[in-house]
Chain A
């Protein structure tokens, strides 16, 4: 890798780290503590940006899947895979922050509330996407199955959302956002979006490089036998 490229990558991640630090500081010192729920509410600043970015990642999977089905170019598949991995990562964050919030605010780690159920189902949906990819060896079949699943899964998301909303919600949580909270929230979006985009691009680039390397690996055709080395009959 060229040095200018390396330094650009370094700068990017440095900025991301700084953004996290800034966001963290704001959450700790600037944002006011919510009256009814206390400090646990502050996990919201991590939860919501992660959730939005998860959705964006899965949207990218959807678009890339369509792109692959129509164009059949491998890089569409690389993009879909990278976006899915990051999406699942972020969705895990959403899920974990969700249950932590539940524990902190209402005392139980899990409840089949609409929001938590939706996070779980979304997470499962795309974990299965990743599992499906790893179950198929042929690159072409893998891309094909992933593309179909990527499209269908995304179409399923609004249905999952709506059906989760049918579940009884014992703890409706609507928070009125004070202006300082809104600012903090806006700031917290930055590091998570940077993380999202950065990881997707990194994953995409890595997949592309791996493919290039495989392609230029040379000719594996078997060579003629060297029977005379076997010795034996006089």
Chain B
């Protein structure tokens, strides 16, 4: 387990040093919110558009984030160096996932703040539940994103391939969180029910599946 700490520490230190990934990803996220804001104009519909705007921003900036954190390993074949160590491949997965989550936590905070600002999202009704639900969604998204970033990065044609594979897989998260938040904010219900179950099921299934598959998939 301290190996995970070591690996995550390394990732975050590299990030702090270069601030390359985090800068790009945060700005992209905010840009997307701005574009949607300009596009939707007065039609914004207040809080109802919230999950759409936020998920769009998360999906695109998230994919970029995952590409870059895996890119660090591919840059000078550093991954081969890792694989020469007595490190379980699943440990590498967990570490990458944690690093990705840490970065996405930062990104989502800034993006959500931008969304609240530009769209006047009113989260006062249930801010805790909002954060909780979106966080659960991001965990599942990051699990799939981390797995596929490893698979895709070993090919030369990286480009849109990660986004292509991860987006359709993440749609259940988008639907469930949207429906759930609609129920909470528009209908005044409390969190729970099938929508929440789907999100949690998604997280569990794909955390396990990604963890298992990573083992089979990692190549230097």
Contacts and interface: CB of A to CB of B under 8 A. Distances in A.
Interface of A: 69, 117, 121, 124-125, 128, 131-132, 135-138, 141, 144-145, 148-149, 151-153, 155-156, 159-160, 162-167
A148 B157 contact: no
22 contacts: A69-B216, A69-B217, A135-B157, A136-B155, A144-B154, A144-B219, A148-B147, A148-B213, A148-B217, A152-B144, A152-B169, A153-B168, A155-B206, A159-B172, A159-B198, A159-B202, A162-B194, A163-B176, A163-B179, A163-B195, A166-B176, A166-B195
A181 B192 CA distance: 40
B205 interface: yes
Interface of B: 144, 147-148, 151-152, 154-155, 157, 161, 164-165, 167-169, 171-173, 175-176, 179, 194-195, 197-198, 201-202, 205-206, 209-210, 213, 216-217, 219
B164 A152 contact: no
B198 A151 contact: no
Contacts of B179: 163, 166-167
A210 to B, nearest CB: 21
A135 B164 contact: yes
Contacts of A166: 175-176, 179, 194-195, 198
Nearest to A131: B164
Main secondary structure of the interface of A (DSSP, over half): helix
A117 B148 CA distance: 25
Given A131-B164, A152-B144, A155-B206, A162 B198 contact: yes
Contacts, number: 89
Given A132-B161, A136-B157, A151 B175 contact: no
Nearest to B183: A166
Contact of A160 (B147, B151, B171, B209): B171
A163 B175 contact: yes
Contacts of A164: 175
A156 B217 contact: no
A145 B155 contact: yes
A108 B164 CA distance: 29
A149 B195 CA distance: 24
Contacts of B144: 152
B60 to A, nearest CB: 16
A207 B152 CA distance: 24
Contacts of B164: 128, 131-132, 135
A144 B157 CA distance: 14
Nearest to B219: A144
A153 B148 CA distance: 12
B157 A124 contact: no
B212 to A, nearest CB: 9
Contacts of B201: 159, 162
A42 B152 CA distance: 44
B147 to A, nearest CB: 7
A164 B175 CA distance: 7
A155 B213 CA distance: 13
Counting chain A CB atoms within 10 Å of each CB, the highest count among B155, B210, B213 belongs to B155
Contacts of A117: 175
Given A162-B172, A162-B198, A163-B176, A145 B213 contact: no
B167 to A, nearest CB: 8
Contacts of A69: 213, 216-217
A35 B202 CA distance: 41
B172 A128 contact: no
B206 A152 contact: yes
A138 B217 CA distance: 15
Contacts of A145: 151-152, 155, 165
A125 B165 CA distance: 8
Contacts of A156: 169, 172
Contacts of A137: 157
B111 to A, nearest CB: 23
A159 to B, nearest CB: 4
Contacts of A141: 154-155
A155 B168 contact: no
